[in-house]
Amino acid sequence: MARSGFQLSGDAARIYEEQKVPTMFAPLAVATLDQVTVLADDVVLDIACGTGIVARTVRQRAGAKPRIVGTDLNGDMIAIAQSLTDDAARTCEWQTADATDLPFEADTFSIAFCQQGIQFFPDKQAALTEVHRVLKPAGRICFTVWNGVADIVVPMTEALAQHVSADAARKATAPFALEANQLLPMLAEAGFMECSISDISINRTIPATVHGVRGEIEGLPIAKIIFEKSEAAMDHVVQDTFTGLAPFRQGDFFVVPQKTHLIEAVKGS
Ligand SMILES: C[S@@+](CC[C@H](N)C(=O)[O-])C[C@H]1O[C@@H](n2cnc3c(N)ncnc32)[C@H](O)[C@@H]1O
């Protein structure tokens, strides 16, 4: 199985679902689906689905008919998706799978989403070629990657450099390093056509409390590294990030903009 740069386990997957999905990944799924229409006769794949927020949002938007499958490398994330009891979650299929080795026949899906996942794949070209294989002719790929380092990550990165290590700070910004343009030749190489890049901006709304900021940080893979340093290091990183977010305070919340690229392409028919 391919190694990944984004791995959460056990309690971290639950914290991800409870903290990061409502503040960031759910608004991003909604913003993406405001731009990408899914029809009742689509067959939908959500790759690197995490706890399945894109798949679930597609269900809410497109109704009961489409088959919707979510896959992720991390079985703990899939276990959270499987444990959710709302109608949207119960009516999607969930499967643990590496993006470079999808357990589906060729020409199965009409649309494949991948929200903030591809930057973690060690072999992006292999993943795009695999997505191309499982898409039907004229099937669409729609994926998002961050557009620049998020404002919320800036104070956290400074705190990591000061209280944990330069390596931890580097790891925190790694998810933002992939440029959308880098993916265009890879999409072409995989056989995709009509590639386009558009912009999406969401607001991350985080309770303006130390507890709220702690939840954001504990839902990141970097939390493990911080805790390995010490509990006190986590306290410092949380406190400094909380202080650094002051310019974004609106009443009881920090409202922090975060920009994303939406990349779309079509499999030739
Ligand atoms: C930032 S999370 C995004 C999850 C989800 N798309 C969302 O919007 O909440 C990145 C996800 O990519 C998954 N991932 C990393 N490498 C992977 C791979 N090679 N194959 C499949 N999933 C992978 C991780 O397990 C993680 O769930």
pLDDT of residue 184: 96
Angle between helix axes 222-229 and 231-244 (nearest 10 degrees) is 120
CA dist 234 and 226 (Å) reads: 6
Q: 163-184: per-residue pLDDT in tens?
A: 999 999 999 999 899 999 999 9
Distance 117 CA to ligand 1 centre (A): 5
Q: 181-193: per-residue pLDDT in tens?
A: 999 999 999 999 9
Q: How far is CA 81 from CA 71, 88, 98, 266, in A?
A: 10, 10, 16, 28
Q: 95-109: per-residue pLDDT in tens?
A: 999 999 999 999 999
Pocket test for ligand 1, best of 44, 92, 101, 116 (most atoms within 8 A of CB): 116
Q: How many CB atoms lie within 10 A of CB 37?
A: 10
Pairing of strands 67-72, 192-207: unpaired
Q: Give the number of the atom of ligand 1 that is nearest the alpha carbon of residue 99.
A: 20
pTM: 0.90
Q: Give the number of the atom of ligand 1 that is nearest the alpha carbon of residue 114.
A: 6
Residue nearest to atom 26 of ligand 1 (CA): 50
Q: Give the number of the atom of ligand 1 that is nearest the alpha carbon of residue 8.
A: 25
Q: CB within 8 A of 28, min separation 6: which ones?
A: 115, 116, 144, 200, 202, 258, 260
**Burial class of residue 231 (count of CB atoms within 10 Å of its CB; 0-12, 13-18, 19+):** exposed
pLDDT, mean of residues 111-138? 97
Q: Which part of the chain is CATH 3.40.50.150?
A: 11-146+178-203+258-267
CATH of 11-146+178-203+258-267, picked from 3.30.565.10, 3.40.50.970, 3.40.50.150, 3.40.50.360, is 3.40.50.150
Q: Which of 237, 212, 211 is nearest to 223 (CA)?
A: 237
Pocket test for ligand 1, best of 54, 72, 131, 220 (most atoms within 8 A of CB): 72
Q: How confident is the model at residue 3 (pLDDT cuts 50, 70, 90)?
A: very low
Q: 48-93: per-residue pLDDT in tens?
A: 999 999 999 999 999 999 999 999 999 999 999 999 999 999 999 9
Q: How confident is the model at residue 4 (pLDDT cuts 50, 70, 90)?
A: very low
Q: Give the number of the atom of ligand 1 that is nearest the alpha carbon of residue 98.
A: 20
Q: Sign of the C-alpha dihedral, residues 211, 217, 219, 222?
A: negative
Distance 80 CA to ligand 1 centre (A): 13
Pocket test for ligand 1, best of 1, 3, 4, 115 (most atoms within 8 A of CB): 4
Q: How many CB atoms lie within 10 A of CB 69?
A: 24
